[in-house]
Amino acid sequence: MNNRSEILTKQISDIVDQSIVKRNKEIKKRTYLGASSLGDSCSRKIQYRYMGYEPDSERDFNAQTLRIFQFGHEIEESVAQWLKQAGFDLKVVDKNGEQFGFSIADDQIRGHIDGVICGGEMDIQYPMLWECKSANERKFKEFQNKGVALANPVYAAQVALYQAYMQLTENPCLFTVLNKNTSEIYYELVPFNQPLAQEISDKAVKILEASKANEILPRIAQTRDYFSCKYCEYQDKCWSD
Protein backbone atom coordinates (compact mmCIF):
# COMPACT_ATOMS: atom_id res chain seq x y z
CA MET A 1 0.00 0.00 0.00
CA ASN A 2 1.48 3.37 -0.98
CA ASN A 3 1.63 6.38 1.29
CA ARG A 4 -1.43 8.10 -0.22
CA SER A 5 -3.53 4.95 0.19
CA GLU A 6 -2.47 4.68 3.82
CA ILE A 7 -3.48 8.28 4.45
CA LEU A 8 -6.86 7.81 2.78
CA THR A 9 -7.69 4.55 4.58
CA LYS A 10 -6.72 6.16 7.89
CA GLN A 11 -9.06 9.04 7.14
CA ILE A 12 -11.89 6.63 6.30
CA SER A 13 -11.31 4.76 9.58
CA ASP A 14 -11.32 7.99 11.58
CA ILE A 15 -14.51 9.26 9.92
CA VAL A 16 -16.36 6.00 10.58
CA ASP A 17 -15.20 5.82 14.20
CA GLN A 18 -16.10 9.45 14.87
CA SER A 19 -19.59 8.95 13.44
CA ILE A 20 -20.17 5.91 15.65
CA VAL A 21 -19.11 7.78 18.80
CA LYS A 22 -21.11 10.87 17.79
CA ARG A 23 -24.26 8.81 17.21
CA ASN A 24 -23.89 7.12 20.59
CA LYS A 25 -23.64 10.48 22.36
CA GLU A 26 -26.86 11.60 20.68
CA ILE A 27 -28.82 8.73 22.22
CA LYS A 28 -30.82 9.89 25.22
CA LYS A 29 -29.32 8.60 28.45
CA ARG A 30 -31.30 6.48 30.87
CA THR A 31 -32.96 8.28 33.72
CA TYR A 32 -33.65 5.08 35.65
CA LEU A 33 -31.84 2.10 37.17
CA GLY A 34 -31.53 -0.62 34.55
CA ALA A 35 -31.91 -4.20 35.74
CA SER A 36 -29.08 -5.23 33.43
CA SER A 37 -26.50 -3.35 35.52
CA LEU A 38 -27.82 -3.70 39.08
CA GLY A 39 -25.71 -6.81 39.66
CA ASP A 40 -22.51 -4.77 39.37
CA SER A 41 -20.49 -5.11 42.56
CA CYS A 42 -20.03 -1.33 42.97
CA SER A 43 -23.18 0.53 44.02
CA ARG A 44 -21.44 3.89 43.63
CA LYS A 45 -20.77 3.24 39.93
CA ILE A 46 -24.44 2.33 39.42
CA GLN A 47 -25.43 5.49 41.27
CA TYR A 48 -23.18 7.67 39.11
CA ARG A 49 -24.87 6.25 35.99
CA TYR A 50 -28.33 6.79 37.45
CA MET A 51 -27.52 10.40 38.37
CA GLY A 52 -26.31 11.12 34.83
CA TYR A 53 -22.63 11.68 35.56
CA GLU A 54 -20.41 11.83 32.49
CA PRO A 55 -17.70 9.13 32.34
CA ASP A 56 -14.06 10.17 32.52
CA SER A 57 -13.18 11.55 29.09
CA GLU A 58 -10.48 8.96 28.39
CA ARG A 59 -12.67 6.09 29.64
CA ASP A 60 -15.84 6.72 27.66
CA PHE A 61 -16.91 4.07 25.14
CA ASN A 62 -14.80 4.18 21.99
CA ALA A 63 -15.97 3.14 18.52
CA GLN A 64 -14.58 -0.39 18.81
CA THR A 65 -16.45 -1.04 22.06
CA LEU A 66 -19.66 0.35 20.57
CA ARG A 67 -19.26 -1.98 17.58
CA ILE A 68 -18.92 -4.90 19.99
CA PHE A 69 -22.20 -3.87 21.64
CA GLN A 70 -23.92 -3.64 18.24
CA PHE A 71 -22.56 -7.03 17.23
CA GLY A 72 -24.06 -8.46 20.43
CA HIS A 73 -27.53 -7.24 19.44
CA GLU A 74 -27.19 -8.81 16.01
CA ILE A 75 -26.06 -12.11 17.54
CA GLU A 76 -29.17 -12.06 19.74
CA GLU A 77 -31.40 -11.74 16.67
CA SER A 78 -29.67 -14.72 15.01
CA VAL A 79 -29.95 -16.96 18.07
CA ALA A 80 -33.64 -16.05 18.40
CA GLN A 81 -34.22 -17.08 14.81
CA TRP A 82 -32.43 -20.41 15.33
CA LEU A 83 -34.58 -21.18 18.37
CA LYS A 84 -37.75 -20.38 16.45
CA GLN A 85 -36.84 -22.57 13.49
CA ALA A 86 -36.11 -25.40 15.95
CA GLY A 87 -39.76 -25.28 17.01
CA PHE A 88 -39.65 -23.08 20.11
CA ASP A 89 -42.49 -20.56 20.42
CA LEU A 90 -40.24 -17.63 21.28
CA LYS A 91 -41.78 -14.19 21.73
CA VAL A 92 -39.39 -11.23 21.64
CA VAL A 93 -41.90 -8.36 21.28
CA ASP A 94 -45.46 -7.73 22.43
CA LYS A 95 -48.52 -7.15 20.21
CA ASN A 96 -47.44 -3.52 19.73
CA GLY A 97 -43.98 -4.52 18.55
CA GLU A 98 -42.34 -3.36 21.77
CA GLN A 99 -39.76 -5.27 23.78
CA PHE A 100 -41.18 -7.02 26.85
CA GLY A 101 -40.21 -5.38 30.10
CA PHE A 102 -41.20 -4.14 33.54
CA SER A 103 -41.20 -0.86 35.45
CA ILE A 104 -41.42 -0.37 39.22
CA ALA A 105 -40.72 2.32 41.84
CA ASP A 106 -42.42 5.08 39.82
CA ASP A 107 -40.48 4.09 36.69
CA GLN A 108 -37.15 4.48 38.48
CA ILE A 109 -36.28 0.78 38.09
CA ARG A 110 -36.84 -0.82 34.70
CA GLY A 111 -35.81 -3.86 32.73
CA HIS A 112 -36.27 -5.20 29.21
CA ILE A 113 -35.99 -8.91 28.55
CA ASP A 114 -34.70 -10.69 25.44
CA GLY A 115 -37.77 -12.91 25.20
CA VAL A 116 -40.16 -15.49 26.57
CA ILE A 117 -40.39 -19.09 25.34
CA CYS A 118 -44.09 -19.93 25.48
CA GLY A 119 -43.97 -23.47 24.11
CA GLY A 120 -42.12 -25.99 22.03
CA GLU A 121 -41.77 -29.60 21.01
CA MET A 122 -39.66 -30.56 24.03
CA ASP A 123 -41.39 -32.03 27.08
CA ILE A 124 -40.44 -29.24 29.48
CA GLN A 125 -42.43 -26.64 31.38
CA TYR A 126 -43.33 -23.30 29.78
CA PRO A 127 -43.30 -20.31 29.82
CA MET A 128 -39.65 -19.59 30.49
CA LEU A 129 -37.51 -16.47 30.34
CA TRP A 130 -34.91 -16.36 27.56
CA GLU A 131 -31.73 -14.33 27.90
CA CYS A 132 -28.99 -14.24 25.28
CA LYS A 133 -25.37 -13.11 25.57
CA SER A 134 -22.18 -13.43 23.56
CA ALA A 135 -18.60 -13.87 24.72
CA ASN A 136 -15.04 -14.35 23.53
CA GLU A 137 -13.34 -17.73 23.80
CA ARG A 138 -11.92 -17.24 27.30
CA LYS A 139 -15.16 -16.00 28.83
CA PHE A 140 -17.19 -18.63 26.97
CA LYS A 141 -15.10 -21.36 28.62
CA GLU A 142 -15.88 -19.83 32.00
CA PHE A 143 -19.60 -20.14 31.34
CA GLN A 144 -19.11 -23.77 30.33
CA ASN A 145 -16.99 -24.62 33.37
CA LYS A 146 -18.65 -22.54 36.08
CA GLY A 147 -22.16 -21.62 34.97
CA VAL A 148 -23.57 -18.10 34.85
CA ALA A 149 -23.81 -17.58 38.63
CA LEU A 150 -20.02 -17.80 39.03
CA ALA A 151 -18.89 -16.75 35.55
CA ASN A 152 -20.86 -13.51 35.55
CA PRO A 153 -22.76 -12.45 38.70
CA VAL A 154 -24.11 -9.37 36.89
CA TYR A 155 -25.92 -11.60 34.38
CA ALA A 156 -27.14 -13.89 37.17
CA ALA A 157 -28.65 -10.92 39.01
CA GLN A 158 -30.24 -9.71 35.79
CA VAL A 159 -31.90 -13.08 35.22
CA ALA A 160 -33.20 -13.25 38.80
CA LEU A 161 -34.73 -9.77 38.59
CA TYR A 162 -36.34 -10.46 35.24
CA GLN A 163 -37.84 -13.70 36.48
CA ALA A 164 -39.19 -11.98 39.59
CA TYR A 165 -40.74 -8.92 38.00
CA MET A 166 -41.93 -10.61 34.80
CA GLN A 167 -43.59 -13.32 36.95
CA LEU A 168 -41.58 -16.08 35.30
CA THR A 169 -40.40 -17.75 38.49
CA GLU A 170 -42.00 -21.18 38.10
CA ASN A 171 -39.69 -22.46 35.36
CA PRO A 172 -35.96 -22.00 34.75
CA CYS A 173 -34.62 -19.33 32.41
CA LEU A 174 -33.01 -20.56 29.20
CA PHE A 175 -29.69 -18.70 29.23
CA THR A 176 -27.70 -18.82 25.99
CA VAL A 177 -24.20 -17.60 25.20
CA LEU A 178 -22.70 -17.56 21.69
CA ASN A 179 -18.93 -17.90 21.33
CA LYS A 180 -17.85 -15.02 19.07
CA ASN A 181 -14.70 -16.93 18.09
CA THR A 182 -16.27 -20.26 17.11
CA SER A 183 -20.07 -19.63 16.95
CA GLU A 184 -20.59 -22.46 19.47
CA ILE A 185 -23.62 -21.90 21.71
CA TYR A 186 -23.75 -22.60 25.45
CA TYR A 187 -27.17 -23.40 26.95
CA GLU A 188 -28.00 -23.30 30.65
CA LEU A 189 -31.30 -23.69 32.52
CA VAL A 190 -31.19 -21.21 35.40
CA PRO A 191 -33.71 -21.77 38.25
CA PHE A 192 -35.21 -18.72 39.93
CA ASN A 193 -32.97 -17.44 42.74
CA GLN A 194 -35.38 -15.64 45.08
CA PRO A 195 -32.79 -14.53 47.67
CA LEU A 196 -30.65 -12.99 44.90
CA ALA A 197 -33.65 -11.18 43.40
CA GLN A 198 -34.50 -9.76 46.84
CA GLU A 199 -30.89 -8.75 47.50
CA ILE A 200 -30.61 -6.86 44.21
CA SER A 201 -34.03 -5.24 44.69
CA ASP A 202 -32.99 -3.99 48.13
CA LYS A 203 -29.75 -2.70 46.62
CA ALA A 204 -31.69 -0.72 43.99
CA VAL A 205 -33.89 0.87 46.64
CA LYS A 206 -30.80 1.87 48.64
CA ILE A 207 -29.30 3.55 45.56
CA LEU A 208 -32.54 5.44 44.90
CA GLU A 209 -32.83 6.59 48.52
CA ALA A 210 -29.21 7.75 48.65
CA SER A 211 -29.56 9.64 45.37
CA LYS A 212 -32.75 11.35 46.55
CA ALA A 213 -30.92 12.46 49.70
CA ASN A 214 -27.92 13.68 47.65
CA GLU A 215 -25.69 11.15 49.38
CA ILE A 216 -22.96 9.39 47.42
CA LEU A 217 -22.61 5.75 48.40
CA PRO A 218 -19.25 4.38 49.63
CA ARG A 219 -16.56 3.19 47.26
CA ILE A 220 -16.15 -0.54 46.76
CA ALA A 221 -12.42 -0.39 47.59
CA GLN A 222 -9.83 1.45 49.67
CA THR A 223 -7.44 2.20 46.79
CA ARG A 224 -8.00 3.08 43.14
CA ASP A 225 -5.80 0.22 41.91
CA TYR A 226 -8.42 -2.30 43.03
CA PHE A 227 -9.29 -4.58 40.11
CA SER A 228 -12.83 -3.29 39.54
CA CYS A 229 -11.73 0.33 39.90
CA LYS A 230 -8.98 0.06 37.30
CA TYR A 231 -11.56 -0.50 34.56
CA CYS A 232 -14.31 1.79 35.85
CA GLU A 233 -15.44 4.65 33.61
CA TYR A 234 -15.73 6.90 36.69
CA GLN A 235 -12.32 6.22 38.23
CA ASP A 236 -11.11 9.85 38.23
CA LYS A 237 -14.47 11.22 39.31
CA CYS A 238 -14.81 8.67 42.10
CA TRP A 239 -11.35 9.13 43.59
CA SER A 240 -11.44 12.92 43.37
CA ASP A 241 -14.69 13.15 45.36
Could you report the per-residue pLDDT of 140-196, keeping only the tens digit for each? 999 999 999 999 999 999 999 999 999 999 999 999 999 999 999 999 999 999 999
Query: Residue 119 falls within a domain, yes or no?
Result: yes
**3-class state of residue 226 by DSSP:** coil
**Residue 116 falls within a domain, yes or no?**
yes
Specify if 222 maps to a domain.
no
Asked whether 191 and 125 are in contact (CB, 8 A), the reply is no
In a domain, 9, yes or no: no
Q: pLDDT (tens digit, 9 = 90+) per residue, 3-19?
A: 888 888 889 988 898 99
Q: How many CB atoms lie within 10 A of CB 92?
A: 18
pTM score, whole prediction: 0.89
Give 29: exposed, middle or buried? Use CB within 10 Å, 0-12, 13-18, 19+.
exposed
Range of the domain at 134: 64-212
Give the torsion sign (CA, 146, 147, 150, 152).
positive
**CA nearest 217: which of 51, 56, 59, 105?**
51
Residue 123 included in any domain = yes
CATH of the domain at 97: 3.90.320.10
Give per-residue burial for 204-224: e unless 16+ CB within 10 Å, then b. Answer: beebbebbeeeeebebbbeee
List helix spans (H) across 63-112: 63-85
Measured CA to CA, the distance from residue 114 to residue 187 in angstroms comes to 15
Residue 26 lies in a domain: no
The CA R_g of the chain, rounded to the nearest whole Å, is: 20
Q: Answer whether the bond into residue 195 is a cis peptide, omega within 30°.
A: no
* 184-233: pLDDT as tens digits: 999 999 999 999 999 999 999 999 999 999 999 999 998 888 988 988 98
* 232, part of any domain: no
Three-class SS state of 6: helix
Asked if the structure places residue 233 within a domain, the reply is: no
Considering its fold, how many domains does the chain have in total? 1
